[in-house]
Amino acid sequence: MDVHLNMKTNLADIRIEYSSRNLDCKDVARSPIKQFETWLNQAMEAGALESTAMNLATVNPNGQPSSRIVLLKGIEKDQFIFYTNYTSHKGLDLATQTSAAINFFWPELERQVRIEGSILKVDPSESDGYFESRPYGSKIGAWVSDQSKKITSRKELEDKVLEYQQKYPEGSVVPRPSHWGGYALTPNYIEFWQGRPSRLHDRIVYELDEKGEWEIYRICP
């Protein structure tokens, strides 16, 4: 059976011509972390929506990839930190396949950053410290949500919220669930992408060599 989409716009005709900036090897910092921090600060100054949002790509033991948006919560010891439920889809992926990738896109600056590396859990004390800083509702949510699992209805979720609000009233200490905590991605490859006219984008790569030093080079768009 033929299916015809009734669309007002031809998707093939949608494109944006990037032309606001350029990027060259001589312009970037020697450290990719410093270069990333510079770009992140510029994204925040430009008013980028959810400037710390990043697409996290993982793969399961069968080689099936999946991705989702998470929030960067810190850069410590040259590692990229985020927090989540350890028993979620991504948590189960990372339990067996520690290689992963994250991607930031800041359309306001016509930029993206691709980062590849290995991911491990952070020390429990770090997870405790961050969890304590979260708003009360977010703490309760960490207890309530059996992330990525099937649920019968929204009401089931709301009933669990009431249950845990009674168990941990606002103003009381809400402990961190053992199934919730942080991950740290240690990069071995970072690409800085700057949009340019006619899709001839500037792409500058930092890649760790065998000596553990960053090699900087340009790749074709």
pLDDT digits (tens, 9 = 90+) for 123-135: 999 999 999 999 9
Task: Give residue 7's pLDDT.
Answer: 61
Judge whether residue 171 has pLDDT over 50.
Answer: yes
5-26: pLDDT as tens digits: 556 788 888 888 898 899 999 9
Active site includes 114? Answer: no
- Min mean pLDDT across 2-11, 21-30, 112-121, 171-180 is at 2-11
| pLDDT of 1 above 50 | no
Residue among 30, 68, 199, 203 flagged as catalytic: 199
The pLDDT of residue 120 is above 60: yes
Q: What is the mean pLDDT of residues 133-162?
A: 93
Domain positions in the chain: 18-218
Tens digit of each residue's pLDDT (9 = 90 or more) over 31-90: 999 999 999 999 999 999 999 999 999 999 999 999 999 999 999 999 999 999 999 999
Pairwise CA distance, residues 21 & 114, whole Å: 18
Task: Say what the pLDDT of residue 184 is.
Answer: 98
CA distances from 153 to 139, 145, 158 (A): 21, 13, 9
Residue 6 pLDDT: 57
In sequence order, the 6+-apart residues with CB closer than 8 A to the CB of 182 are: 73, 81, 82, 83, 121, 122, 126, 127, 130
How far apart are the C-alpha atoms of 153 and 170, rounded to whole Å? 25
- Helix axes 154-167 and 136-144, enclosed angle (nearest 10): 120
Question: What's the CATH code, domain 18-218?
Answer: 2.30.110.10
d(CA 43, CA 111): 9
- What is the DSSP code (8-state) at residue 190? E
Q: Quick one: how far is CA 41 from the chain centroid?
A: 16
* Mean pLDDT value across residues 180-184: 98
**In terms of Cα–Cα distance, which of 131, 135, 137 is closest to 175?**
131
